[in-house]
Amino acid sequence: MPRVVRLAVAQSGPIQKDERRERVVARLLAMLKQAAARRCHLVLFPELALTTFFPRYYEAERADMDRWFEAEMPGAATRVLFDTARELGIGFSLGFAELTPERRHFNTQILVDAEARIVGRYRKVHLPGHAEFEPQRAWQHLEKRYFEPGDLGFPVWRTMGGVMGMCICNDRRWPETFRVMGLQGVELVMLGYNTPTLNSMKPEETAATRMHHNHLCMQAGAYQNACWVAGCAKAGDEDGYDLMAGSCIINPDGEIVALAQTSDDEVIFHDCDLDACAFLKQTTFDFAAHRRIEHYGLISSQTGAVPPPE
């Protein structure tokens, strides 16, 4: 029997600063129901799916940003998502800003099974941007101010018929992200993203080039680790700042098999045959047969590049 996960990627359109959680959750619910009507097993929502992309705003007092965080999951506003998913028998993966009981702040994504149990939790490891206000930027990206780096590594979970992993936005640009999950036999990696359409430090970089980077790194991650990859954008104009769309599902050959056409709420679907990972995992990317770890030491012993002396 093939192991087919019918996957929905529920791209979000923009969320404005004053949009209440309840209204956002209603939008997510509408997409969850669309996916259930198409008999999907699993729906992927974006990074920080419940709020506007608040790290673009500077706040001198960090605690004043706690209103963007969820101290409970599910909480009052999100419980309906869990209850409805359980009734419909559909799993989902959701990104949100997590405030722990110890008052730690993480950019988090969870994996929820068809019984509405949280079976996986990932906390973003690669936090882009900066911690202080930087006037030279066209807009701010203060993830390093409001979050601490994830403390859970890149785990994978055997659930919903396959081996599932997650990462978040900037993580997709780092081959290490996918390889650590590849080394655990991952078959489907789900990630959400909030990526500005333009570069705050390089105005001449085109939106097309940035979309190319977006897809390039996810396609490479899929192929080089022989797994499915799904990327879910929060897209469109948030408070005058445009986020790219381009949500997609990528097969283990690195090919895009489903692609969002709009910059708004939009659900795309694909039947992901997890057994399609096996061929490359057993041949070109049979890690046990071909990897040469005696030459990879620098990857985990050094962060910055050190060119040879002049």
Q: Which amino acid is at 153?
A: G
Q: Which amino acid is at 259?
A: L
φ/ψ region of 45 (left if φ > 0, alpha if ψ in -120 to 50, else beta) reads beta
Binding to ligand CDV by residue 141, rule CB under 6 A? yes
* Mask for 16-55, x = binds ligand CDV (CB under 6 A): -------------------------------x--------
User: 146 phi and psi, to 5 degrees?
Assistant: -100, -15
What's the rounded Cα separation, in Å, for the pair 274 and 162?
7
Q: How many binding residues for ligand CDV (CB under 6 A)?
A: 10
We find the least distance from the C-beta atom of residue 291 to ligand CDV, in angstroms, to be 27
Nearer to ligand CDV, 10 or 243 (CB): 243
Nearer to ligand CDV, 178 or 193 (CB): 193
Nearer to ligand CDV, 223 or 241 (CB): 241
Nearer to ligand CDV, 15 or 169 (CB): 169
Helical pair 175-182 and 207-225, crossing angle rounded to 10 deg: 20
We find the least distance from the C-beta atom of residue 110 to ligand CDV, in angstroms, to be 17
User: 190 phi and psi, to 5 degrees?
Assistant: -115, 135
Q: Among residues 178, 182, 256, which one has the least CA distance to residue 212?
A: 256
Q: Write out the binding residues for ligand CDV, residues 156-215 only, by CB under 6 A.
A: 169-170, 173, 193-195
SS3 191: strand
Known catalytic residues?
47, 124, 169
Instruction: Kindly list the residues in this chain that would bind ligand CDV in the complex (CB under 6 A).
Output: 47, 128-129, 141, 169-170, 173, 193-195
